[in-house]
A and B are shown apart, each in its own frame.
Chain A
């Protein structure tokens, strides 16, 4: 039933009381669900009922510390349980009932149990604005969202602000697009607002295609209403009544929660006609992406919503004037929208206090790869890469060293050790040959070959190039051929120059961002790790052993204790020999260099 402002206030006041009660919050985002947190939720609810515990057991969004999943936080005292198993359910409920804690599930730092989750090193330097509700509310319950001042910004806008004033606040906040290029959001709103047309559209880009990035997914899974509310505000500001969320079909949980949220908001009259008894109408439709990286590009995304192949269109005309279905269209990314409501509630000046001169606010990064604390982190702009990797990320596992971090995914570049102390913002990352991108941050240790990584990204872009413009379609293919040659020891020294030339052409002549930036991973690795390319070309050597054609796995006969463990574990039957009858030997014709034997040998007798 449609709610009035007063009814919303009542819901807010009433639901706030829940937050004072004991709540067992379990992450049911994609990461933790992959480790069966949904089953743990059921078991906790069952046990809680059986034992007659006076607690609320609820699902919530991502806490970000994915390496430690499944994660449970008990509110209001903020106890943090990590790597919880279904068998722990009863003990957790009993401890809550007795007012005690299950210490074996609590994280330890410096030999001390950490009592509250914000006290963990992982969280100390974080500032959760976009992720503020992830891990605190049940994303499938609109009342809980309303209780954390949800839909208050929409009410403020509809009942007391002009569209110019809304746009002004966004401009004042200095927020820039979180999807990659960093275009000032307020300006985008202003352009679309000034476009003259009866029909305009508001779009949300939730087609998070950067492999290894999951910021937007986590926001949609943990706080879908924040995006819906912000889109309605944007609709009011630019004069649009229809929104589209273009979300990856590969994110079933996010899709499901968005559907629930849209349904609930519609039931409450927060979407639909005459919202909050004003004359503002706004509806949102979901459109599923179908697995094409290029659809993250704005015009390709619009083609896809229109039911076509996701090929980019030439710009101009820019979407602000001629976008979806030929109408003026505002497109922002999920994380951008997730900041809007707070900018409206607290003012643009408040938001602009966080961050650097040119890049305001916070940025969410998906920290992955060779790092201890894999997960989602939100830090103020201007935080250094060193702080993210070492203070928050807990450094590199297995005693290895940091080699590089890739930001911006296939459009970005590798950042080497020498730039670890650069404060991260849009300009600084571009100046060192990378880019902010959407927020994927993949850390690589010193066992990774940079030529091989560049090849990996090019394989991706070759696959994902839509084929419309030749510079991208042919350029990426030729680059990949050259890189493959180099990793197979067939490269020539002139190939480096060829790569650089190709890159220049692709940058200047490709139709969209995909082609313009596809060579970035190659150029940045050439810039910082040129000697690795030369080593591959001139010495036919891959120092890390990752380029398999250039590698041989060998058993050191002096160290081999003839135990046969390597032979037993080899998935390819490539190891010859008999136990205690002389050292084992690898049949190079069968060996695929999977290196299982290296990890299994108890005597470290196998190397590459």
Chain B
């Protein structure tokens, strides 16, 4: 664990220290650094934001602006199983909305939310490019193609 100077004892993992070192002299490296943090934790914790702000000399307001601007970055953790429903046009015309609604109903959460037990989170994403398998969903990088509302329960049961 490493402490940054100036803030009241927030600490970050060694991994974050390495990420910051890697991008300290890269022009515009903050986005690349945030990518690595997002991949590592599934979101960008406030303590890490503060640390990167100091190390890479980017104001916190800018970091917050960047995180909220880009859909790939998240301020909140995801569920153990992150369900992403592709809402690309090809999936949409093949009924992705019905698939999404069924997930919402089964999990009793809305898009962008996480179930109370932290097991599932639900999100809409833009085209993943599996248009031949439309409508497609992704759960923790596993792609499920040719989805339909009645396949939703079947898929969810794999994770129960």
Task: Say yes or no for B131: interface residue by CB 8 A criterion.
Answer: yes
Task: Say yes or no for A97: interface residue by CB 8 A criterion.
Answer: no
Task: Say yes or no for B66: interface residue by CB 8 A criterion.
Answer: yes
Contacts of A394 in B (CB 8 A): none
Interface residue stretch chosen among B3-11, B14-22, B113-121, B145-153: B145-153
Across the interface, do A596 and B150 meet the contact criterion of CB distance under 8 Å? yes
Least CB distance from A82 to B in Å reads 11
Complex partner residue of B89 from A31, A304, A306, A409, CB under 8 angstroms: A409
Across the interface, do A466 and B131 meet the contact criterion of CB distance under 8 Å? no
Given A308-B66, A370-B93, A444-B93, the answer on whether A34 and B130 have CB atoms closer than 8 Å is yes
Task: Say yes or no for A287: interface residue by CB 8 A criterion.
Answer: yes
Contacts of A583 in B (CB 8 A): none
Task: Say yes or no for A340: interface residue by CB 8 A criterion.
Answer: no
Task: Say yes or no for A66: interface residue by CB 8 A criterion.
Answer: yes
Given A250-B126, A594-B101, the answer on whether A370 and B94 have CB atoms closer than 8 Å is yes
Across the interface, do A594 and B69 meet the contact criterion of CB distance under 8 Å? no
Given A369-B93, A596-B149, the answer on whether A291 and B126 have CB atoms closer than 8 Å is yes
Chain A stretch 401-454: residues in CB contact (< 8 A) with chain B: 406, 409, 440, 442, 444, 448, 453
Across the interface, do B31 and A366 meet the contact criterion of CB distance under 8 Å? no
Given A307-B28, A571-B152, A592-B105, the answer on whether A375 and B89 have CB atoms closer than 8 Å is no
A66–B127 Cα distance when bound, in Å, is 15
Task: Say yes or no for B70: interface residue by CB 8 A criterion.
Answer: yes
Contacts of A289 in B (CB 8 A): 70
Contacts of A212 in B (CB 8 A): 88-91, 127, 131
Task: Say yes or no for B108: interface residue by CB 8 A criterion.
Answer: no
Task: Say yes or no for A290: interface residue by CB 8 A criterion.
Answer: yes
Least CB distance from B139 to A in Å reads 12
Least CB distance from A582 to B in Å reads 25
Contacts of B152 in A (CB 8 A): 571
Chain B stretch 56-94: residues in CB contact (< 8 A) with chain A: 58, 62, 65-66, 69-73, 87-94
Chain B: CB-nearest residue to A442: B89
A309–B92 Cα distance when bound, in Å, is 28
A528–B134 Cα distance when bound, in Å, is 27
Across the interface, do A571 and B149 meet the contact criterion of CB distance under 8 Å? yes
Across the interface, do B27 and A325 meet the contact criterion of CB distance under 8 Å? yes
Range for the number of chain B residues in contact with chain A: 35 or more
Across the interface, do A288 and B131 meet the contact criterion of CB distance under 8 Å? no
Contacts of A375 in B (CB 8 A): 132
Across the interface, do A366 and B131 meet the contact criterion of CB distance under 8 Å? yes
Task: Say yes or no for A305: interface residue by CB 8 A criterion.
Answer: yes
Across the interface, do A307 and B58 meet the contact criterion of CB distance under 8 Å? yes
Contacts of A507 in B (CB 8 A): none
Contacts of B62 in A (CB 8 A): 308
Task: Say yes or no for B35: interface residue by CB 8 A criterion.
Answer: yes
Across the interface, do A66 and B29 meet the contact criterion of CB distance under 8 Å? no
A134–B101 Cα distance when bound, in Å, is 37
A442–B92 Cα distance when bound, in Å, is 10
Across the interface, do A466 and B88 meet the contact criterion of CB distance under 8 Å? no
Contacts of A31 in B (CB 8 A): 129-133
* Chain A residues at the B interface, C-beta cutoff of 8 Å: 30-31, 34-35, 66-67, 69, 209-214, 217, 249-251, 287-293, 304-310, 325, 366, 368-370, 374-375, 406, 409, 440, 442, 444, 448, 453, 456-457, 466, 569, 571-572, 592, 594-596, 599-600
Could you show 6 A-B contacts with beta carbons less than 8 Å apart? A30-B128, A212-B131, A309-B66, A309-B69, A369-B134, A406-B89
* Chain B residues at the A interface, C-beta cutoff of 8 Å: 27-32, 34-35, 58, 62, 65-66, 69-73, 87-94, 98, 101-102, 105-106, 125-134, 136, 143, 145, 148-150, 152-153
Additional 18 contacts, C-beta under 8 A, given A31-B131, A214-B127, A368-B89: A31-B130, A34-B133, A211-B126, A249-B35, A287-B31, A288-B31, A290-B31, A290-B34, A292-B69, A307-B66, A309-B66, A375-B132, A406-B89, A440-B89, A448-B93, A453-B93, A456-B89, A571-B106
